Amino acid sequence: MIEAFFFGPCGQQIFATYHPPLGGNGQVLTVICPPFFNEYMRTHLALRELAISLAERGQHVLRFDYRGTGDSFGELREVSLVDWQEDITLAVREGREISGSSRVYLLGVRAASLLACSAVDLSSDVQRVVLWDPVLDGSSYLQSLRDIQMVIADRQLWLSRAERRRVKHEYAGYVLSEAMEKQLVSFDASAYLSVPDGLLRVVSSSTTSFPIQRVPHTVALFNCEWNTAAEELILARPVLERLVECLTNPS
């Protein structure tokens, strides 16, 4: 049975959902690191479906919300990427305690790919990292969020001049801390180079190339429209099928 619960330090607890394996004692735990900000809600249903599919194939799966997001404690404007990196490490530890698994896989979606890869050094338990449409660097990602925000602001014709000035400092509708902005800018493709050889897999919804040639890269064409102000849910089933393959294939 799917179990929802909180874990982590008092006052800063992280909300998680655990999907136990169906029909057996799974040896693998997959921890899903969701994307940030506007992409979190757009992929929530897809990542839930992915978790169910993995559990049906005998894996333990843990989904969680970073502090300051979703149902976790805290305010977004008060947290940083360092906090979210710690959340991933705590999620791995919690998932291992619940499942008893010694083999841990991480799934990073979009900008969470940078964070998941940087967290690998903090956890020797991780034996595979799969990325869905990884963001190549934090600076261009922030700029795409600013572009989305400009579109959102232009649509809100009822805003006063003061309100318009305020919302134009947001990122796709979200107010970020100064620390988070600086940390995002500092992230680049070197985070992917930090992952030991053989651990990394990439699944893309477009023909965009991945900068590290030695990494297995699968393309499942699907128009996700990441860099637009679209609000529709992303149910990229061709991509989800490839993610399941990457996360369940033993080789």
73 and 14 in contact (C-beta within 8 Å)? yes
For the chain, list the domains and their CATH numbers.
3-136+188-248 (3.40.50.1820)
Structure tokens at 185: 């800018």
* 24 or 142, higher pLDDT: 142
Would you state the pLDDT for residue 102?
84
DSSP state of 21: P
51 and 63 in contact (C-beta within 8 Å)? yes
**Considering the chain, what is the average pLDDT of its residues?**
91
DSSP state of 157: T
Structure tokens at 41: 């809600």
Is the pLDDT confidence value at 49 over 90?
A: yes
Q: How confident is the model at residue 194 (pLDDT cuts 50, 70, 90)?
A: confident
Span of 17-31, 151-165, 213-227 with lowest mean pLDDT = 151-165
107 and 33 in contact (C-beta within 8 Å)? yes
Structure tokens at 60: 């333990």
Q: Report CA-CA distances (Å) from 181 to 77, 93, 163.
A: 10, 27, 21
Is the pLDDT confidence value at 14 over 80?
A: yes
User: In the chain, pLDDT over 70 holds for what percent of residues?
Assistant: 93
Is the pLDDT confidence value at 211 over 90?
A: no
Is the pLDDT confidence value at 186 over 80?
A: yes
Indicate the helix (H) or strand (E) that contains 15.
Answer: strand 14-19
CA dihedral defined by 26, 13, 47, 151, rounded to 10 degrees?
Answer: -160
User: In the chain, pLDDT over 90 holds for what percent of residues?
Assistant: 71
Is the pLDDT confidence value at 251 over 80?
A: no
Q: What φ, ψ does residue 11 adopt, rounded to 5°?
A: 85, -10
How many residues appear in the chain?
251
Would you state the pLDDT for residue 122?
57
- Amino acid identity of 39? E
- String of DSSP letters for 178-225: HHHHHHHHH--THHHHTSPTT-EEEEESSSPPPS-TTS-EEE------
**53-106 per-position pLDDT tens digit:** 999 999 999 999 999 999 999 999 999 999 999 999 999 999 999 999 989 999
**116-163 per-position pLDDT tens digit:** 998 876 556 799 999 999 999 999 999 999 999 888 777 766 666 666
Q: What φ, ψ does residue 200 adopt, rounded to 5°?
A: -95, 140
